[in-house]
Amino acid sequence: MNQHSRTTAILVISVILCSALIIGSIWGLYFFDHAIPNDTSSTEQSESSSYTDSEEQTTAPLPPENTKPKPKKMIALTFDDGPSGAYTHKILDLLEQYQAKATFFVCGYQLKESKKDELQRAISLGCEIGNHSETHAYLTKISEEELLKEIRNTNEKIAQLSGTDYHCTVYRPPYGSVNRKVAETLIQNEIYMYPILWNSDSRDWEYRRDYDNGKITRNEAITGTFETVVREASEGSVILMHDIQSITPDVVALILEKYTAEGYTFVTVSELFGFEEMQDEEAYFKYYNSANSISSLR
Ligand SMILES: [Zn+2]
């Protein structure tokens, strides 16, 4: 074998050895990658996949908690003193349009046969009906007997007019007037209801009065009410309005437009506070003015 032939032979052998090495490595990697998970038990597989996940995190640096859905931004609109033959349907039209829900704290004296449509439509749209007493009474200033009559009569009228025996679980004390004694009297008489206050007062009644008295224009009354809400409302707020005020439907339109665009969901007060899942007896002795501010009654 001459020098040239020897060099060629070494070269050929080197190429063959290198190729074998490369093919062997590729096959080995493939085998390692695919054979192990297939051959292991389910427990080992889960360990293997958790290892893979942590490896992937180095390329996708999102910790697991960031992948959880964020809690929704929620607001509870509440309407007192109705139902109103003139304005409740207008508000319900808007709620329906935006697929929003609200809570209507109705007064017993308003619950006539003629208001049946308003009440039933609110319920069918997923809205909540709350008790605002029979005569819009100061609950802390009346006798036990009168208190029970105020609440019971209104609950009965709601149940009857709803056509579905609607069971009311929230009440809004007129003027925000409630204390521990009121709550205890209700519980002692097996009336299990949560007192709901508010943290954003639209003062729609005051703007409407100033408009009616010619002090401000209708537009100013609507804008003024809307801006009062915007100043105070945030995530978890309970907004106080009245569906008996002529300007309120226009204000509701502005609120729904603004907060829907900002990603808010409009829910009932029971949804906001999660009353349906609540098992705590003491919960009846708290007042709820916003999801971020719940205090014990004194
Ligand atoms: Zn009221």
pLDDT for residue 43 is more than 70: no
Which of 246, 187, 196 lies closest to 221 in space, CA to CA?
246
- The pLDDT > 70 percentage for the chain reads 76
Contacts of 169 (CB under 8 A, 6+ apart): 192, 193, 194, 270, 275
pTM: 0.77
Number of helical (H) and strand (E) elements in the chain, helices listed first: 10, 10
Q: Is 96 in contact with 266 (CB distance < 8 Å)?
A: no
> How far apart are alpha carbons 242 and 246 in whole angstroms?
9
Distance 6 CA to ligand 1 centre (A): 107
Share of residues in the chain with pLDDT > 90 (%) = 73
242 C-alpha to ligand 1 centroid (Å): 8
What is the distance in A from the centroid of ligand 1 to the CA of 65?
A: 43
pLDDT at 7: 53
Task: Find, among 134, 155, 159, the residue nearest to 146 by Cα.
Answer: 134
Res 281: pLDDT: 85
Centroid of ligand 1 to alpha carbon of 107 (angstroms):
8
Interval between CA 174 and ligand 1 midpoint (Å): 5
Give residue 72 CA to ligand 1 midpoint distance, Å: 29
The torsion defined by the Cα of 19, 20, 21 and 24, in degrees rounded to 10, comes to 120
CB burial class (10 A; 0-12, 13-18, 19+) of residue 151?
buried
> What is the CA(203)–ligand 1 centre distance, in A?
11
Concerning whether 80 is annotated as a catalytic residue, the answer is: yes
Provide the residue count of the chain.
Answer: 298
Choose, from 81, 132, 204, 242, the residue flagged as catalytic.
Answer: 242
Long-range contacts of 192-195 (CB under 8 A, 24+ apart): 192/284, 193/131, 193/151, 193/168, 193/169, 193/284, 194/169, 194/170, 194/269, 194/270, 194/273, 194/275, 194/283, 194/284, 194/286, 194/288, 195/170, 195/171, 195/286, 195/287, 195/288, 195/297
Q: Catalytic residue among 80, 81, 204, 250, which?
A: 80
* 3-state SS assignment for residue 12: helix
* Per-residue confidence band for 6, with pLDDT thresholds at 50, 70 and 90: low
Average pLDDT over residues 190-205: 97
The 8-class DSSP code of residue 154 comes to H
Query: Region 193-211: what's the mean pLDDT?
Result: 97
Reply yes or no on whether 136 is catalytic: no
Q: How confident is the model at residue 254 (pLDDT cuts 50, 70, 90)?
A: very high
- Expressed in angstroms and rounded, the spacing between residue 136 Cα and the centre of ligand 1 is 6
Mean pLDDT of the chain: 84
Q: Could you give the domains of the chain?
A: 3-67 (no CATH), 73-296 (3.20.20.370)
Distance between Cα 119 and ligand 1 center (Å): 17
74 strand-pairing partners: 265
Q: Is it the case that residue 219 has pLDDT exceeding 60?
A: yes
